[in-house]
Amino acid sequence: MAVLHNRVSQAELKKLLYAETEHRTTISFYRYFQVDDPKLFRDEMYKSMNALKVFGRIYVAYEGINAQISVPDSNVNAFKNYLDTIEPLKNIRLNIAVDNDGKSFWVLKIKVREKIVADGINDPGFSMQNKGSYVNTAQMNELIQDENTVVIDMRNHYEYEVGHFVKAIEIPSDTFREQLPMAVEMMKDKKDKNIIMYCTGGIRCEKASAYMKHHGFENVYHLEGGIINYARKAKAEGLESKFVGKNFVFDDRLGERITVDIISKCHQCGKPADTHTNCKNDGCHLLFIQCGACGKQYDGCCTVECQKIYNLPLEEQKEIRKGIDKGMMVFNKSKKRLRPRLDENNKKKEY
């Protein structure tokens, strides 16, 4: 019987990844299409992907597939050939990571979900068939210059913070499901404008464009392949990047550099910084921006309190974090969420 799940510890898998000598290519792809039996689709895909030594995170649902993976370079062509055997995925656009060190994932996880991107949409009349028009890199640059264009960032606040397109409007929310109705409300008096929506790889902005069309907006566009595809095409075609800063990614890298601009600040000292990290205290694990100096000063922790816990013996740390539900641990200044910045006396300072 074929093995359909990983049976090795995460720590051992990560150790094995860094011991690999062959380079890996980090790839993301998605497609909205009807999957009649997501569980069967998932199991068959796991066997094929595992045989090709693919690592990563893949979601399968009745509405399609969403994948972020890494593939050994020697297996990339075989991987593409495998996708071509699945009719809805034949010739699918693959987004190759811009900052590609190949160390993005160390285990293969394929999960069946209700949807490939959680959207909170319950309207039976909603359809992904009626979506906005694609714009490519050159068209994106051209439309951004048009004063009749509104550019909407459909990513989370912490993604927008470190990098975004010039003129882009942030939808100030933690989740995509919250952003959809907010985007409609924010644009209700701009139905005569060209509305361009974008996200990391295209999956969120494609659905957002269909949601806007569903609510009566006509001139709706979405960036083909998202920021990842845009950045590669801009470089290849010698075009100026209208995306400034860093592109946040949901893997072990936590970001890939698009331009040299640093547009965000360290959440501890306020100096220019755009490196996301998770607090080293496993009872916290807060995602926040930390500069190199603060990383050394606080041992990679978000507060002195967490630093003290992090430096305790491991058994004491485990005892302290018993019963803690970290939930969605993301630094969000706008909602005074979670842990605030330290003041000059290493005490918590309210926002």
**CATH number of the domain encompassing residue 201:** 3.40.250.10
Position 88 scores a pLDDT of 94
**Measured distance CA(249)–CA(247) in Å, rounded:** 6
* Residues 6 or more apart in contact with residue 126 via CB below 8 angstroms: 210, 211, 214
Kindly state whether residue 255 falls inside one of the protein's structural domains: no
Instruction: List Cα–Cα distances, 14 to 18, 19, 32, 107, in angstroms.
Output: 6, 9, 31, 8
Same domain, 69 and 141: no
What is the enclosing helix (H) or strand (E) of 129? none
The Cα 329–Cα 279 span in angstroms is 10
The answer to whether the CB of 160 falls within 8 A of the CB of 168 is: yes
Coil vs helix vs strand at 217: coil
Q: Is 171 left (phi over 0), alpha (psi -120 to 50) or beta?
A: beta
Residue-wise over 207-245: b if at least 16 C-beta within 10 A, else e? bbbbbbbbbebebbbbbbbbbbbbbbbbeeeeeebbbbb
Find how far residue 94's CA is from the centre of its chain. 15
Q: Are residues 163 and 226 in the same domain?
A: yes
- Domain assignment present for residue 62? The answer is yes
Positions of the chain with pLDDT under 70: 1-20, 99-102, 323-351
If one counts the domains in the chain, the total is 3
Q: What is the pTM of this model?
A: 0.78
Q: Tell me, what DSSP letter sits at residue 241? A: P
Contact call for residues 339 and 294 (beta carbons, < 8 A) = no
Query: Tens of pLDDT along 102-121?
Result: 677 878 999 999 999 889 99
- pLDDT at site 106: 79
What is the bridge-based pairing of β-strands 133-135 and 220-223? parallel
Let me know if residue 250 belongs to a domain. Answer: no
The packing angle between helices 203-214 and 176-186, to 10°, is 40
Residues 226 and 315 in one domain: no
Q: Phi and psi for 248 in degrees, rounded to 5?
A: -70, 135
User: Hey, is 24 helix, strand or coil?
Assistant: strand
User: Quick one: 205 and 299 in the same domain?
Assistant: no
Q: Which of the listed residues 200, 219, 237 is the one where a domain comes to its end? A: 237
Tokens of 339: 């842990």
In a domain, 208, yes or no: yes
CATH of the domain at 47: 3.30.70.100
User: Are 98 and 154 part of one and the same domain?
Assistant: no
Note whether residue 288 is domain-resident.
yes
**Within a domain: residue 253?**
no
Q: Are residue 156 and residue 213 in the same domain, yes or no?
A: yes
Q: Which domain holds residue 350?
A: 264-351
Angle between helices 226-237 and 137-145 (to 10 degrees): 90
Amino acid at site 217: F
Q: Catalytic positions, please?
A: 199
Residues 222 and 317 occupy one common structural domain: no
152 with 108, same domain: the answer is no
Q: Where does a domain end: 83, 112, 141?
A: 112
Residue 105 in tokens: 């994932």
Tokens for 229, please give them.
């595809």
pLDDT tens per residue, range 219-245:
999 999 999 999 999 999 999 999 999
Alpha carbon distance 240, 219 (integer Å) = 25
pLDDT at res. 351: 28
* DSSP string across 335-349: GTBS---B-TTS-B-
The distance of Cα 103 from the centroid of its chain, to the nearest Å, equals 16
Domain boundary pick from 67, 83, 112: 112
Q: 26-36: buried (b, 16+ CB within 10 Å) or exposed (e) per residue? A: bbbbbbbeebe
36 and 77 together in one domain:
yes
Q: Is residue 45 part of a domain?
A: yes
* 11 found inside a domain: no
For residue 70, give the 3-state DSSP assignment: strand
Q: What per-residue confidence (pLDDT) applies to 255?
A: 85
